[in-house]
């Protein structure tokens, strides 16, 4: 704008001598008329430049807005097959009840982390196999590094030395970065053997609720996001018993994991941004419930699952295509391809040739 004013008004009486000098020209030059031809050229050039700039802005305004690519349809509405569980009928607070707010109609719950405490809730009974699901809206704070929000199954308090676990873990972010969703599986005390996979999501998980589900059978564990399978962990002989098989509680927690959550612990939780609030709704517990420590024999067969006729317990062709799309576009870490951590891949990892690539990778069986 400064250049345009200088060139446009340089030969007019509208421009004071002091402003001419501010433009970097001598007023003597102007008053002698020696700048007339140069000024005309500059005015012409500035008009051309302004026209080009306006055309660029017009083209930009008419351009299509960017959007997240959407996964192909899995072809199966898993979530729609189930009724939701009221909080007070299926769950109870674990600790710091003052950091938890349950809706009046028991349809949803908020859990909060601040400098004094995190909090969490779990199911009132244990389950062996089933479908577990929750709609979750992650903390909206601009900075959530170090904050871990979870939805998972575990029996660590029942079998501390040989516990099983199936995890959804949402790892906090720094400004300008995305949340990371980590899934993990422990079986029969295999806590020294991490089987983590990490993905980014094709949406902002703090903007609205999205459904996260675990389908656990004797044959496999399937993780789903909004009906989209993102991981399948298959029970095979090569696992040597490291597959979740004992009764578990279902948990949801929020806590400070600064030691490792964000960039390996590089960024810590910053409580000037607190409180960090995660919301849970559409809670689903469709599973084989146990009576105390007694586990009905039917729970160890798929016939014991209340939904076994409602949804496929193995992936269909369209579901697998959706899962492959997620892995191809959004996976950022897979333990099967971490050769520094596991120079010899774990036995359930199989070698696969990457299409079009001169190297070979590994993936879960």
In the residue annotation, 208 being an active-site residue is answered as no
CA atoms within 13 A on the CB side of 13: 0
Per-position DSSP letters for 154-175, written without gaps between them? E-TTT-TTS--EEEEEEEP--T
Burial class (CB in 10 A: 0-12, 13-18, 19+), 245: middle
The active-site residue out of 16, 169, 232, 364 is 169
C-alpha span between 343 and 142 (Å, rounded): 38
CB atoms within 10 A of CB 253: 20
Contacts of 238 (CB under 8 A, 6+ apart): 347, 348, 365
Look at the block and give the residue holding tokens 């067969």. 301
- Of the candidates 133, 130, 123, the residue with the CA atom closest to the CA atom of residue 80: 133
Q: What are the start-end ranges of the E strands in 274-359?
A: 276-289, 331-334, 349-353
In the residue annotation, 169 being an active-site residue is answered as yes
C-alpha span between 96 and 99 (Å, rounded): 6
Phi, psi of 211 (to 5 degrees): -95, 130
DSSP code at position 141: -
Phi, psi of 257 (to 5 degrees): -115, 40
The active-site residue out of 165, 208, 219, 364 is 165
Q: 130 near 287, Cβ under 8 Å?
A: yes
Helices (H), the chain: 2-8, 17-22, 27-31, 36-61, 87-90, 317-330
Q: 226 near 168, Cβ under 8 Å?
A: no
- Catalytic residue numbers read 165, 169
């Amino acid at each position: 704008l400064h250049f345009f004013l200088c060139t446009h008004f340089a030969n007019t009486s509208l421009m004071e001598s002091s402003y001419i000098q501010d433009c970097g020209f001598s007023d003597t030059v102007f008053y002698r008329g020696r700048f007339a031809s140069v000024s005309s050229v500059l005015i012409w050039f500035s008009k051309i430049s302004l026209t080009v700039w306006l055309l660029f802005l017009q083209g930009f305004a008419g351009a299509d807005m960017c959007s997240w690519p959407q996964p192909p349809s899995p072809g199966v509405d898993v979530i729609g097959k189930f009724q939701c569980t009221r909080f007070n009928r299926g769950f109870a607070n674990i600790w710091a009840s003052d950091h938890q707010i349950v809706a009046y109609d028991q349809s949803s719950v908020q859990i909060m982390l601040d400098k004094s405490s995190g909090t969490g809730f779990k199911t009132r009974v244990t389950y062996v196999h089933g479908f577990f699901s929750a709609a979750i809206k992650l903390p909206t704070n601009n900075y959530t590094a170090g904050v871990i929000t979870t939805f998972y199954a575990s029996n660590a308090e029942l079998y501390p030395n040989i516990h099983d676990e199936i995890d959804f873990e949402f790892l906090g972010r720094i400004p300008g970065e995305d949340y990371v969703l980590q899934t993990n599986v422990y079986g029969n005390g295999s806590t020294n053997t991490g089987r983590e996979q990490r993905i980014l999501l094709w949406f902002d998980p703090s903007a609205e609720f999205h459904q996260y589900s675990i389908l656990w059978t004797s044959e496999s564990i399937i993780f789903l996001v909004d009906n989209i399978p993102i991981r399948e962990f298959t029970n095979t002989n090569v696992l040597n018993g490291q597959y979740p098989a004992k009764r578990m509680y279902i948990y949801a927690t929020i806590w400070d994991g600064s030691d490792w959550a964000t960039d390996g612990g590089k960024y810590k939780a910053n409580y000037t941004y607190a409180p960090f609030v995660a919301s849970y709704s559409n809670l689903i517990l469709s599973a084989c419930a146990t009576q105390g420590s007694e586990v009905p024999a039917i729970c160890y067969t798929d016939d014991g699952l209340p939904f076994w006729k409602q949804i496929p317990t193995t992936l269909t062709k369209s579901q697998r295509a959706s899962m492959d799309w997620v892995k191809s576009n959004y996976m950022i870490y897979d333990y099967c391809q971490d050769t520094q951590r596991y120079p010899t891949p774990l036995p359930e990892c199989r070698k696969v040739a990457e299409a079009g690539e001169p190297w070979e990778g590994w993936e879960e069986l």
